Each structure stands twice: as structure tokens, then as C-alpha cells.
């Protein structure tokens, strides 16, 4: 049986479609755990109604604590052999579970991954494809590195699609038993959990089939202004550093950590320091960049030795500015990036 964990928080416009996409699966051995993370809109009412009419759906209400907290609560309640995490504003292909469960090598693998469609403003785009079409791979340190820093993906002949998303992979329950999401991390928690899960797995399957629809909405976390970005990235860096220290055999872990530091700075520039909703003036924004760049967890990834060949020229420019404390340079690089995008 597949246990589907779906955190729900103020998604009244989408949650019914997400639930229906599970109910309409051609494979019938599933349970759906709706973890209501303190919704204040009609989401609670919708979820309760489904739980009352469908015995395979359970509704669990909790105080608001964030998506990681909701997923952790779901992990306490699962009964299936497989666990799948789904977002409440997306939807599944009706053949998703059947395609996975009928995969001929399923008995030998611990994690199964697949592709997804990106749905935005009426347009549908295929995300990066898995190559070859289907394959099973023994989990090794190269795969772990690819999860921690996506720059490693381009160095491999096989393509694994997105390795940082939860909703494009299914886990055997015993593989992630005892694992928990870091509740003080609001961005990047998916990738860290995936890295910890793959570290425990022996074999993983990759299916080049588009079985999930990811809806990108204006209120998505990846678009909005994040005034607390420094704290959440400091927590992410701390937890990742501790994870890397536990596995001393992982080669290239310094480069992985530097890659994460780069990623945190790039996203902090986008989501706060140069964001149009940031109320601070120019000088205060430069000070914000300075304070974050001088954080000990950030500096640790800049001052250590790492493989520069993994990074693209634009990424190296950001790291250069960080190393030599060129805070205005970081601001200008982000402004140039936005102008080019527009």
C-alpha cells in the first residue's frame, strides 16, 4: 500500500483537485493523510468532507508549524509499505501509482523517481527528462553529491531529472523510518531530506515518465518576499554541515557545501536583498547582504578549498564577490540577472 502524505494550508482553490487526483488513481491500494496545518480558509471544510465519505482518507488537524512539521506528523501516522509526499496545490496523472507499482524491477529498489510537468499561467512545460528511459542505479556518493549541489548533475552521463523534489519520488517506508524534516528550515528542506534518504538506500529507479503536475502560483514560496531568509538559510547550512560531517567518506563534500552556500546567497539576493518588496533603501540592503555574507556558516563555505571547475562563470563571480566582501558587486550581479530575465 502507498501512504500519501499531503500537508494542507490555505489552499481552498486547489486542494479538491489534488485529493481527486489521488482518488482517481487506477491503482487502488493507497491511503491519503490530509495534514491540516492550521488552515484559516475553507481548506479544512473541504478536507473533512472528503474524509467523511472516503474511508481511505484520514483528516488530521494540527497547529500551524510549517510544511516540515506537517510532514513529520504524517510520518507518525503512515501504514503503507511506500510513502509519498504530495503538495496540496498540484495533481497526479491517473496512472501514476499504477505505472510505479507495475515497474518490473520494483522489488529490488528503495526509491522510485519520475518526471513532472510545470504548469504556469495556462502553459505546460516538461521538466528536465530522465535518461535513459528507465534504469535502476546503485546509490553511490556521486548521486548524493548531485542532490546536495545540482552543479554535479551536468558531469554525469545519466540524467536523473530533478533530485531535490519530494513529489517526484516514492520511498520505501523502512528506508526513511526515523528520519524527520528539519522544522526550522523553510526553504531547501526537501533536498536535505532526499539526501538523507538516498544515503540509506541501496538501489534507486528512475522512470522517464511525466506523472505529476506542479502548479506554480503567484503565492508560491519560491516567488514571495522572504524577510526571514537569513535565519532559514543559516539553519539549512547548519543542518547540511552536520549531515556532511556524519558521512566522512563522501568525497567532494567541501564542494557540495560551497555549492549550497552559493545557492543560499543567490536565492537570498533574489528573495530579499534585491526583491522589489524589500522596504529597505539601497544602503540598508547592502548592509543586509554584508551581514549574511559574514555569517560564520556562510564564510565556512567560501574560505575552504573546493573544486572551482564544478561552478559556471556566473557562479564563480558570485563566489568571488563573497570571498573578497564585494557586497555592492553582489547587488549589481543580481540586478543584471533580473534585467536579463526581463
Nearest residue to 112 via CA among 188, 175, 32 = 175
Residues 192 and 240 in one domain: no
Domain match, 69 and 209 both: yes
DSSP 207-257: EEEEEEEEE--TT-TTTS--TTHHHHHHHHHHHHHHHHHH-TT-TTHHHHH
Confidence tier at 176 by pLDDT (50, 70, 90): very high
Does the structure show a pLDDT above 70 at 221? no
pLDDT at residue 249, as a whole number: 77
Domain identity same for 117 and 154: yes
Helix axes 229-246, 282-293, angle to 10 degrees: 20
Nearest CA-CA partner of 210 in 89, 81, 91: 91
Domain around 262: 229-341
Residue 111 in this model has a pLDDT that exceeds 80:
yes
68: buried, middle or exposed (CB in 10 Å: 19+, 13-18, 0-12)? Answer: buried
Shared-domain flag, residues 82 and 178: yes
Cα 313 to Cα 171: distance, rounded to the nearest angstrom = 36
Instruction: Assess whether pLDDT exceeds 90 at residue 248.
Output: no
Asked whether residue 221 is domain-assigned, the answer is no
R_g of the chain computed on alpha carbons:
20
What's the domain count of the chain? 2
Which of residues 215, 249, 264 is at a domain's end? 215
Q: Which residues contact 341 (CB under 8 A, 6 or more apart)?
A: none
CATH code for the domain in which residue 97 is found: 3.90.550.10
**Grid coordinates of 93:** 496523472
180 and 43 in a single domain? The answer is: yes
Under the banding of pLDDT at 50, 70 and 90, the label for residue 222 is: low
Pair 177, 209 in one domain: yes
Residue 282 lies in a domain: yes
Identify whether 21 is part of a domain. yes
Task: Check: CB of residue 280 under 8 Å from CB of residue 227.
Answer: no
Predicted local confidence at residue 153, as pLDDT: 81
Same domain, yes or no, for 235 and 186?
no
Same domain, 42 and 138: yes
Strands 2-8 vs 82-85: parallel, antiparallel or unpaired: parallel
List, as one string, the DSSP characters of 56-80. Answer: TEEEEE-----HHHHHHHHHHH--S
223 in a structural domain = no
Question: Where is the domain boundary, 171, 187, 215?
Answer: 215
Among all chains, which residue has been given the C-alpha cell 548524493?
144
Q: Is residue 174 part of a domain?
A: yes
Per the prediction, the chain carries an average pLDDT of: 94
pLDDT at 250: 85
Instruction: Identify which of 41, 40, 43, 63 has the alpha carbon closest to the alpha carbon of residue 51.
Output: 43
Shared domain check, 86 and 24: yes
115 has a pLDDT exceeding 60 = yes
In a domain, 224, yes or no: no
Place of cell 536523473: 160
Cell digits of residue 328 = 555592492
Annotate 191-203 with DSSP letters as a single string.
HHHHHHHHHH-SE
Last residue of a domain, one of 215, 241, 276: 215
| Three-class secondary structure assignment of 3-40 | EEEEEECCCCCCHHHHHHHHHCCCCCCEEEEEEECCCC
Q: Give mean pLDDT, residues 162-187.
A: 95
Same domain? For 47 and 179 the reply is: yes
Instruction: Answer yes or no: do 165 and 237 share one domain.
Output: no
Cβ proximity of 163 and 146 under 8 Å = yes
Do 63 and 89 lie in one domain? The reply is yes
Place of cell 539576493: 269
pLDDT of residue 219: 52
Q: How many CB atoms lie under 10 A from the CB of residue 109? A: 21
Amino acid at each position: 500500500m502507498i501512504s500519501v502524505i499531503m500537508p494542507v494550508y490555505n489552499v481552498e482553490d486547489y486542494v479538491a483537485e489534488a485529493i481527486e487526483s489521488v482518488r482517481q488513481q487506477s491503482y487502488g491500494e493507497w491511503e491519503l493523510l490530509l495534514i491540516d496545518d492550521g488552515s484559516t480558509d475553507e481548506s479544512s471544510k473541504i478536507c473533512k468532507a472528503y474524509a467523511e465519505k472516503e474511508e481511505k482518507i484520514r483528516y488530521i488537524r494540527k497547529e500551524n508549524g510549517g510544511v516540515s512539521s506537517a510532514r513529520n506528523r504524517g510520518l507518525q501516522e503512515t501504514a503503507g509499505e511506500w510513502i509519498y509526499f504530495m503538495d496540496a496545490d498540484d495533481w497526479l496523472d491517473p496512472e501514476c501509482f499504477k505505472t510505479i507499482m507495475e515497474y518490473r524491477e520494483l522489488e529490488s529498489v528503495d526509491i522510485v523517481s519520475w518526471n513532472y510537468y510545470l504548469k504556469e499561467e495556462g502553459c505546460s512545460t516538461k521538466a528536465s527528462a530522465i535518461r535513459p528511459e528507465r534504469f535502476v542505479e546503485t546509490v553511490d556518493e556521486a548521486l548524493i553529491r548531485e542532490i546536495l549541489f545540482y552543479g554535479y548533475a551536468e558531469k554525469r552521463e545519466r540524467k536523473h531529472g530533478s533530485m531535490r523534489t519530494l513529489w517526484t519520488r516514492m520511498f520505501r517506508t523502512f528506508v526513511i523510518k526515523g528520519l524527520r524534516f528539519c522544522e526550522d528550515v523553510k526553504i531547501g528542506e526537501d533536498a536535505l531530506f532526499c539526501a538523507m534518504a538516498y544515503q540509506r538506500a541501496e538501489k534507486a529507479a528512475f522512470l522517464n515518465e511525466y506523472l505529476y503536475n506542479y502548479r506554480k502560483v503567484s503565492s508560491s514560496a519560491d516567488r514571495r518576499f522572504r524577510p526571514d531568509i537569513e535565519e532559514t538559510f543559516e539553519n539549512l547550512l547548519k543542518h547540511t554541515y552536520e549531515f556532511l560531517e556524519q558521512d566522512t567518506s563522501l568525497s567532494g563534500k567541501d564542494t557540495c557545501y560551497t555549492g549550497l552556500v552559493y545557492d543560499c546567497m543567490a536565492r537570498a539576493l533574489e528573495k530579499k536583498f534585491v526583491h522589489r518588496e524589500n522596504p529597505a533603501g539601497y544602503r540598508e540592503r547592502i548592509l543586509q547582504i554584508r551581514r549574511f555574507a559574514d555569517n560564520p556558516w556562510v564564510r565556512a563555505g567560501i574560505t575552504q578549498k573546493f573544486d572551482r571547475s564544478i561552478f559556471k562563470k556566473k557562479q564563480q563571480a558570485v563566489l568571488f564577490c563573497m570571498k573578497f566582501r564585494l557586497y555592492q558587486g553582489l547587488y549589481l550581479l543580481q540586478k543584471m540577472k533580473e534585467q536579463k530575465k526581463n
